[in-house]
Chains A and B, each alone.
Chain A
Amino acid sequence: MVKRSGRAAGIALMVLAVGASIAGLTTSRQVHGEYGDVVINNYSDEAGMRPVVFPHWFHRIRFRCKVCHADLGFKFEAGGNDINMLKIIDGAYCGACHNGDIAWSVENCDLCHSAKPRTPTQVHDSTIQKLVAPGKSK
């Protein structure tokens, strides 16, 4: 009886594990984010905020790459800029424009902090993400 229940528990665990992995697969398949959308989750999850989604497409219609990547000093690396709200409110990084003057200001938390919780830092739909390390590309 004990052996049998042990085996049954084992089978149940396997079924659960398989189910979980299938669920994981389908979740990754359901992601169809826009090319170049950057999810930044350096501190958000820990702070109980949704991670940030930065849409490159929206910004490149309005500004050339040089404005952010040369003038404002954004490095070409997702999550590599150590941005936090203090710096932004101080006028650095996003805060250089998102100050209520050039673009809407930082009290619109939800407009940037709009990713699903626990989404890892990544450039969405990037070649590396698709071919090499799904979910871990920078």
Chain B
Amino acid sequence: MIKKFSSPLPALAAIACVPALVWIIASDAGAQGSPDGKSLYAIRCAACHDTGLLGAPKPGAAGDWAARLPRGRDVLLEHAIKGFNKMPPRGGNPSLTDGDVAAALDYMLSRVEPRKAPATPAEPAASEKKAPVPAPVVKKVRSASATHRGVNAFNRLMKPPSKRNLPPTQDGIHDPGSEGTQALQAPRDSFETLPKANFGNRVDWVAALNNGDIAPRYDRMDPDAKPIIMDLNIVREVKGSMPDVVYPHKQHTEWLDCSNCHPAIFLPQKGANPMSMAGILLGKQCGVCHGKVAFPVSDCRRCHSAKKEPAN
């Protein structure tokens, strides 16, 4: 190693220069291909832009960009923010900031441009390798969107309104690249006319059934089959100052059959079913459904609803 250089100084100087050069390039490349832009693209844009839905330009297809690139980044950004032809404003997500849209656009451009506009021959390789070096521009984008993500989010377990009832292409579980996902109905389309609740699906299913907003079948084949309803309230006295629990058989037998709960989950006998909130939170007893599909137990007063008699 040392033999190749007559003196170690030139080598040291070269080593010292590389990071400086790389930093300058990276600050540019970082803005274009920053992880933020990439992840935003994956959640918000990929559903249409990966598949070319409604003529959306695909990042990997240089042909899609031939007519668009000459307009320049500023025009493309304006179209992405304000909408253009079939591109809805901010890709249909009003919660995205200008910075978010710019980051996603820059990420898309970074996937198109290398082929079209190679810079000086030596530089691209260096910039590709060192791209993850944090650049000032990236930080700026992060702070702009910190209002709805990251450490400043109000509560990590609470979903902001913009994240509720998302369509399958955006919900993070469904694969936006699948044709089936594109065909699936969005929850919001069905929920609009249903009574609202503060938890779960944000739908009050019991009220929806009572009002006749929905008419779910009680029998697989027979649309006219009527449920066998048992109108019996069970009051469970609870410890401490929490109001006692009133368990209504009526609302449960509207949806369920006796055999769903008895005897596997609850022995049909008073006092035979010791339970605790810890167990319920872990999926026992009421937690078999409540906290998974029926309203979650964070809605305390829907069960703890009977005010205690004042002690004499």
A37 CA / B166 CA spacing, docked (Å): 12
Question: Do residues A31 and B171 form an inter-chain contact, with CB atoms below 8 A?
Answer: yes
Question: Do residues A128 and B283 form an inter-chain contact, with CB atoms below 8 A?
Answer: yes
**Cβ contact of B185, chosen from A56, A58, A112, A119, cutoff 8 A:** A58
User: With A32-B166, A127-B281, A137-B283 as given contacts, are A66 and B173 in contact (CB-CB < 8 Å)?
Assistant: no
Question: Do residues B216 and A127 form an inter-chain contact, with CB atoms below 8 A?
Answer: no
Most interface-central of A30, A66, A76, A126 (chain B CB within 10 A): A66
Question: Do residues B216 and A111 form an inter-chain contact, with CB atoms below 8 A?
Answer: no
User: With A1-B1, A57-B201, A128-B281 as given contacts, are A115 and B174 in contact (CB-CB < 8 Å)?
Assistant: yes
Task: Chain B residues near A67: list those with CB within 8 A.
Answer: 217-220
Indicate with 1 or 0, residue by residue over A22-57, a CB within 8 angstroms of chain B CB atoms.
010010011111111101000000000010010111
A35 CA / B171 CA spacing, docked (Å): 11
Question: Do residues B296 and A127 form an inter-chain contact, with CB atoms below 8 A?
Answer: yes
Task: Chain B residues near A70: list those with CB within 8 A.
Answer: 256-257, 259-260
Question: Do residues B173 and A37 form an inter-chain contact, with CB atoms below 8 A?
Answer: yes
Question: Do residues B168 and A114 form an inter-chain contact, with CB atoms below 8 A?
Answer: yes
Is B235 part of the binding interface, using a Cβ–Cβ cutoff of 8 Å? no
Question: Do residues B200 and A29 form an inter-chain contact, with CB atoms below 8 A?
Answer: no
A69 CA / B258 CA spacing, docked (Å): 11
A29 CA / B171 CA spacing, docked (Å): 11
**Cβ contact of A32, chosen from B159, B180, B214, B220, cutoff 8 A:** B159
Indicate with 1 or 0, residue by residue over A96-138, a CB within 8 angstroms of chain B CB atoms.
1100001000001111111111010001101110111000011
Question: Do residues A126 and B180 form an inter-chain contact, with CB atoms below 8 A?
Answer: no
Question: Do residues A69 and B260 form an inter-chain contact, with CB atoms below 8 A?
Answer: yes
Is B50 part of the binding interface, using a Cβ–Cβ cutoff of 8 Å? no
A30 CA / B191 CA spacing, docked (Å): 22
Question: Do residues A31 and B217 form an inter-chain contact, with CB atoms below 8 A?
Answer: no
Is B97 part of the binding interface, using a Cβ–Cβ cutoff of 8 Å? no
Name A39's closest neighbour in chain B (CB-CB): B173
Question: Do residues A130 and B259 form an inter-chain contact, with CB atoms below 8 A?
Answer: no
Question: Do residues B220 and A96 form an inter-chain contact, with CB atoms below 8 A?
Answer: yes
**Cβ contact of A66, chosen from B179, B218, B292, cutoff 8 A:** B218
Is A19 part of the binding interface, using a Cβ–Cβ cutoff of 8 Å? yes
Task: Chain B residues near A114: list those with CB within 8 A.
Answer: 168, 174-175, 178, 180-181, 184
Is B297 part of the binding interface, using a Cβ–Cβ cutoff of 8 Å? yes
Sample (9) of A-B pairs whose CB atoms are under 8 Å apart:
A19-B132, A32-B172, A34-B201, A70-B257, A124-B173, A127-B283, A127-B291, A128-B283, A128-B291
Known: A64-B254, A66-B257. 5 other contacts (CB 8 A): A35-B293, A53-B174, A57-B201, A108-B180, A109-B180
Instruction: List 9 tightest A-B contacts by C-beta distance, closest first.
Output: A110-B180, A127-B291, A31-B172, A70-B257, A33-B173, A36-B293, A66-B257, A114-B180, A111-B180
Q: Spell out B's residues near A (CB within 8 Å).
A: 1, 35, 39, 42-43, 132, 149, 157, 159, 163-166, 168, 170-175, 178-181, 183-185, 187, 190-191, 200-201, 203, 205, 214, 216-221, 227, 254-257, 259-260, 281-283, 287-289, 291-293, 296-298
